[in-house]
């Protein structure tokens, strides 16, 4: 039933229906925004990636063969947009103070979960760019090292080494957070 | 935090933590997206169309110019021979007596058979020497509109600016520009312009030079290229030291080297099994020497490799640093020659052949290049000698032939040349150079077909 609704919304979008586009955005923007937060290190960047992702998605909606896979397709676009954003701005990116965003989280999370997410996300956002990209791609989004090496134009070995370093740093930082909370 | 996560579980932990992770984006973002979508909607419909119009106009103008040229200069081939009556310088005495004949006199008319022959003359497949003078070019602008639904949904326009036809080779070349409005996935619309040149050889034919001539039916003309390895041995003993061990020592100090031989040949087909081949080759024969000057002097082969004579310049080692006995010489000798091989090719089976014959070789140049290390440091020097010499040799080999077309044949074989090359030193020393080569030759049958 839901798939049918989605197919109709996408068809309406293709016909130029603005309210259909808005409905699609309203449905998927929060989860894509979450993804963008993971891949970026500040709110402004996340917003830019989100914006870019939806523009690309709407412009290429006619290329979507299977409407039921829209969410997967949109996430892929968002990941690619994040990588493009990283590549374009790698010289400009500097370490910024990470903003706490627990107030922006949707109400579906408990307060404990919100705090935990906030802490883990803060640690991830403090990781160097490549480590952050690799840990997101591999551990959370399920890409393989081969795919990551193609996407980031790095060798498989570099991808593995970045993942190793990222894990190491995450464990260390999570350990520190644990001690502080005690 | 609930617990510290071990390294192995960190991926699982992250996946669980961010499962269903959602953040509400600010309201203004949708407005920005909508605005940008509206902008991008307007852009592609404007730019490429405008660009296409320009190219289309340009193409139409070029086509019209081309058409005009074709109308002004019609193809001269299409005009048939017309009858021109002969002019007579007859003086008219009484104009009233002149009878006007509706037909020209029969004797003035060309023979009927000649006219028919001229009118029904078939188009020549091969070019004649007279045709070679008829090089001409035509400006043939054309527009090709290509739609490529597989690659993208946008049309491609190709404008070929100039077509150049070279009559004798039946070749044509063209240059042009293709304009492709591109709209890649996840990218902004843009136009790809590709400029290119193209050369086409739709028909290539070499004329039958001697049609119907039984002698030329047996002639082949060919080009040959032989990468070769050459080596020589000292075999004549009239040195200060004549012991076998010294000679062997000297020979072991010399190494062969790679070089090449190339040229052309004529081959006459005597019968089904035998061909006589006469060639002219330019050959290079290299030799690498590594012997210290002390040993060289002891054997009697000192620095003068060639006996000086009015015809032969003497070449010596020249260097910026003095040679010492301890200096290790590292020398490359190069002998260049023009060779005239005359051989008999025996075809054993359909494609395999044996080749044996004699060789006249005219040594036209020698070059010596020395690299040495000694007490006085490293140095490199080279000297060229005007050495001239006439030599004879023997040659033999075997190979495999492959007919590429009715006329073209490729021969690949191995051959060996034994040069009786007397390279004189201060002492009388003779060398026996041996050259091994991998012979590759392409021969063209001047008339008729190989597949008869």
Q: List pLDDT tens digits, range A119-129.
A: 888 888 888 88
Both B266 and B342 in one domain: the answer is yes
CB contact under 8 A, A116 and B24: no
Task: Give the chain A residue whose CA is nearest to the CA of B29.
Answer: A51
Residue of A nearest to B15 (CA): A140
φ/ψ (deg, to 5) at A33: -65, -40
* B292 and B384 fall within a common domain: yes
Q: In CATH, what number is assigned to the domain containing residue B385?
A: 2.40.160.20
Q: Is residue B433 part of a domain?
A: yes
Would you state the pLDDT for residue B46? 42
Asked if pLDDT for residue B97 goes beyond 50, the answer is no
Instruction: Flag if B10 and A18 touch (Cβ within 8 Å).
Output: no
Nearest CA in chain A to B39: A55
CB count within 10 Å of CB B122 equals: 5
Q: Is residue B225 within 8 Å of B440, Cβ to Cβ?
A: yes
Residues B220 and B181 occupy one common structural domain = no
Nearest to B318 by CA among B408, B381, B224: B381
A chain contacts of residue B186, beta-carbon cutoff 8 Å: 56, 59-60, 77, 80-81
Domain boundary, last residue among B146, B174, B200: B200
Q: A117 and B185 in contact by Cβ < 8 A? A: no
pLDDT for residue B116: 45
Q: How far does the CA of residue A125 sit from the closest CA of chain B (Å)? A: 13
Q: What gap in Å lies between CA B393 and CA A12, rounded to an integer? A: 90
In order, the DSSP letters of A18-57 are: HHHHHHHHHHHHHHHHHHHHHHSSSHHHHHHHHHHHHHHH
In a domain? residue B31: no
Q: Please list every residue in chain A whose beta carbon sits closer than 8 Å to the beta carbon of residue B20.
A: 31, 108
ipTM value greater than 0.90:
no
B14–A contact, CB cutoff 8 A: yes
Cβ–Cβ gap B186/A54 under 8 Å: no
Residues B220 and B184 reside in one and the same domain = no
Q: Residue B380 above 70 pLDDT?
A: no
B3 and chain A in contact, CB less than 8 A: yes
SS3 A93: coil
From A29, A60, A174, residue closest to B1, measured CB to CB:
A174
Q: Give the number of A-B residue pairs with CB atoms closer than 8 Å.
A: 109
Q: Does B238 touch chain A (CB under 8 A)?
A: no
Whole-Å CA distances, A145 to A76, A138, A142 = 16, 7, 10
Cβ–Cβ of B23/A30 closer than 8 Å? Answer: yes
Rounded to whole angstroms, the Cα distance separating B209 from A137 reads 72
B292 and B373 inside one domain: yes
Contact B33 A105 (CB under 8 A): no
Q: Is residue B29 part of a domain?
A: no
Are residue B225 and residue B283 in the same domain, yes or no? Answer: yes
In a domain, B104, yes or no: no
Q: Tell if the CB–CB gap between B5 and A60 is shorter than 8 Å.
A: no
Same domain, residue pair B226 and B353: yes
Closest chain A residue to B36, measured at CA:
A55
Going by C-alpha positions, the residue among A18, A22, A3, A21 that lies closest to residue A66 is A3
Cβ distance of A105 and B24 shorter than 8 Å: yes
- Site from B11, B42, B186 to mutate, A interface, most A CB atoms within 10 angstroms: B186
Q: Hey, of A51, A73, A119, which one would you mutate to test binding to chain B, going by the most B CBs within 10 A of its CB?
A: A51
Buried b (16+ CB within 10 A) or exposed e, B18-29: beebbbebeeeb
A2 Cα distance to chain centroid: 24
Distance CA A47, CA B424 (A): 89
Of B175, B200, B225, which closes a domain? Answer: B200
Q: Is A117 left (phi over 0), alpha (psi -120 to 50) or beta?
A: alpha
Res A180: pLDDT: 66
**B141 shares its domain with B42:** yes
Sign of CA dihedral A72, A74, A75, A80: positive
pLDDT at B193: 58
d(CA A3, CA A7) in angstroms, rounded, equals: 6
Residues B170 and B308 in one domain: no
Asked if residue B306 and residue B276 are part of one domain, the reply reads yes
- Residue B373 pLDDT exceeds 70: no
pLDDT score for B136 = 37
Q: What pLDDT does B354 receive?
A: 93
Average pLDDT, chain B: 62
CA distance A103 to A118: 10
| Nearest CB to B7; choose among A54, A105, A171 | A171
* B168-193 pLDDT tens trace: 444 455 556 656 555 544 445 455 55
Return d(Cα B289, Cα B317) in angstroms, integer: 13
Is B65 a domain residue? yes
Residue B30 to chain A, least CA–CA distance (Å): 8
What confidence score (pLDDT) does residue B254 get? Answer: 73
Put simply, the answer to whether B22 touches A22 (Cβ < 8 Å) is no
The answer to whether position B79 is within a domain reads no
Count of other CB atoms within 10 angstroms of residue B173: 15
Mean predicted confidence (pLDDT) in B254-279: 87
| Residue closest to B157 by CA, chosen among B42, B46, B47, B53 | B53
The answer to whether residue B327 sits within a structural domain is: yes
Residue partners of B337: CB distance under 8 A and separation at least 6 = B282, B283, B284, B285, B361, B362, B363, B364, B391
Mean pLDDT of the region B210-225: 74
3-state SS class at B188: coil
Q: How confident is the model at residue B138 (pLDDT cuts 50, 70, 90)?
A: very low
Mean local confidence (pLDDT), B74-81: 43
* A136-140, A153-157, B56-60, B98-102: least confident range: B98-102
The answer to the question of residue B115 being in a domain is no
pLDDT at A88: 77
CB spacing of B4 vs A175 below 8 angstroms: yes
If asked whether residues B402 and B441 sit together in one domain, one would say yes
* For residue B17, pLDDT beyond 80: yes
Lowest mean pLDDT among B56-60, B187-191, B212-216, B399-403: B187-191
Chain B residues within 8 A of A104 when measuring between CB atoms: 23-24
Residues B237, B193 share a domain: no
Percentage of the residues of chain B whose pLDDT score is greater than 70: 37
In the prediction, which pLDDT does B242 show? 57
pLDDT at B66: 61
> Angle at CA B50, nearest 5°, toward B44 and B52?
100
pLDDT value, residue A104: 59
What pLDDT digit, counting tens, does each position of B189-217 carry? 455 555 565 555 444 444 455 555 566 67
* Domain range for B360: 216-445
- Angular region, B86: left φ>0, alpha ψ -120 to 50, beta rest: beta
Does B25 contact A at CB distance below 8 Å? Answer: yes
pLDDT in tens, B294-304: 555 554 444 33
DSSP assignment, residue A136?
I
pLDDT mean over A95-117:
60
Q: What angle do CA B134, B139, B141 make, to 5 degrees?
A: 150
Q: Considering its fold, how many domains does chain B have in total? A: 2
Among B173, B200, B227, residue at a domain's last position: B200
pLDDT of residue B300: 45
Q: Is B4 near chain A, with CB under 8 Å?
A: yes
Q: Which domains does chain A have, with CATH numbers?
A: 1-103 (1.10.1740.10), 127-182 (1.10.10.10)
Q: Where are the beta strands (DSSP E) in B108-218?
A: 142-147, 155-166, 171-182, 190-200
Q: What is the pLDDT of residue B344?
A: 94
Please give the distance of CA B15 from its chain centroid, rounded to a whole number. Answer: 62
Q: Give the mean pLDDT of B222-230.
A: 87
Cα–Cα distance measured from residue B191 to residue B189, given in angstroms and rounded to the nearest whole number: 7
Q: State whether residue B406 sits within 8 Å of chain A by CB.
A: no
* Chain B: residue whose CA lies nearest to A140: B15
d(CA A14, CA A17): 7
């Amino acid at each position: 039933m839901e798939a049918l609704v989605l197919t109709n919304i996408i068809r309406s979008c293709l016909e130029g229906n603005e309210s259909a586009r808005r409905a699609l955005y309203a449905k998927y923007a929060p989860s894509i925004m979450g993804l963008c937060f993971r891949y970026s290190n500040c709110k402004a960047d996340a917003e830019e990636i989100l914006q870019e992702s939806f523009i690309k998605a709407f412009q290429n909606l006619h290329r979507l063969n299977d409407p039921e896979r829209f969410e997967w397709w949109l996430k892929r676009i968002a990941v690619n947009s994040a990588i493009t954003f990283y590549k374009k701005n790698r010289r400009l990116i500097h370490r910024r103070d990470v903003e706490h965003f627990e107030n922006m989280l949707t109400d579906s999370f408990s307060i404990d979960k919100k705090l935990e997410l906030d802490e883990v996300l803060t640690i991830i956002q403090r990781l160097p760019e490549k480590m952050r990209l690799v840990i997101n791609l591999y551990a959370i989004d399920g890409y393989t090292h081969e795919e990551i090496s193609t996407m980031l134009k790095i060798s498989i070995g570099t991808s593995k080494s970045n993942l190793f370093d990222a894990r190491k740093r995450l464990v260390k930082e999570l350990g520190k957070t644990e001690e502080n909370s005690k | 935090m609930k617990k510290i996560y071990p390294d192995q579980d960190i991926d699982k932990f992250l996946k669980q933590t961010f499962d269903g992770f959602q953040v509400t984006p600010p309201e203004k973002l949708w407005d920005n997206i909508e605005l940008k979508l509206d902008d991008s909607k307007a852009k592609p419909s404007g730019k490429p169309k405008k660009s296409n119009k320009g190219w289309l106009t340009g193409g139409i103008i070029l086509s019209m110019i081309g058409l005009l040229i074709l109308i002004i200069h019609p193809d001269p081939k299409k005009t048939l021979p017309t009858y021109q009556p002969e002019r007579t310088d007859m003086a008219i005495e009484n104009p009233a007596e002149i009878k006007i004949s509706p037909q020209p006199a029969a004797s003035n008319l060309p023979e009927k058979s000649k006219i028919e022959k001229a009118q029904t003359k078939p188009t020549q497949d091969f070019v004649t020497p007279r045709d070679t003078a008829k090089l001409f070019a035509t400006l043939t602008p054309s527009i090709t509109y290509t739609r490529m639904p597989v690659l993208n949904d946008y049309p491609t326009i190709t404008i070929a600016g100039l077509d150049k036809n070279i009559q004798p080779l039946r070749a044509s070349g063209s240059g042009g520009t293709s304009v492709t409005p591109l709209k890649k996935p996840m990218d902004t619309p843009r136009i790809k312009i590709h400029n290119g040149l193209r050369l086409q050889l739709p028909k290539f034919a070499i004329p039958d030079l001697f049609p119907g001539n039984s002698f030329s039916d047996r002639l082949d003309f060919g080009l040959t290229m032989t990468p070769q390895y050459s080596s020589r041995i000292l075999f004549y003993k009239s040195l200060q030291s004549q012991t076998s061990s010294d000679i062997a020592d000297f020979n072991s100090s010399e190494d062969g080297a790679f070089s090449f031989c190339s040229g052309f040949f004529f081959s006459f087909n005597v019968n089904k099994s035998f061909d006589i081949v006469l060639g002219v080759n330019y050959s290079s024969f290299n030799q690498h020497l590594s012997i210290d000057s002390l040993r060289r002097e002891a054997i009697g082969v000192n620095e003068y490799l060639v006996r000086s004579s009015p015809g032969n310049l003497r070449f010596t080692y020249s260097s910026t640093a003095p040679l010492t006995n301890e200096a290790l010489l590292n020398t490359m000798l190069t002998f260049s020659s023009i060779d005239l091989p005359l051989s008999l090719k025996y075809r054993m089976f359909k494609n395999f052949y044996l080749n044996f014959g004699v060789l006249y070789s005219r040594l036209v140049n020698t070059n010596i290049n020395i690299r040495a290390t000694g007490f006085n440091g490293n140095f490199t020097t080279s000297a060229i000698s005007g050495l001239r010499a006439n030599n004879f040799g023997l040659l033999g080999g075997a190979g495999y032939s492959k007919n590429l077309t009715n006329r073209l044949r490729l021969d690949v074989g191995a051959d060996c040349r034994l040069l009786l090359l007397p390279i004189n030193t201060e002492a009388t020393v003779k060398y026996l150079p041996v050259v091994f080569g991998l012979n590759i030759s392409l021969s063209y049958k001047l008339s008729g077909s190989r597949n008869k």
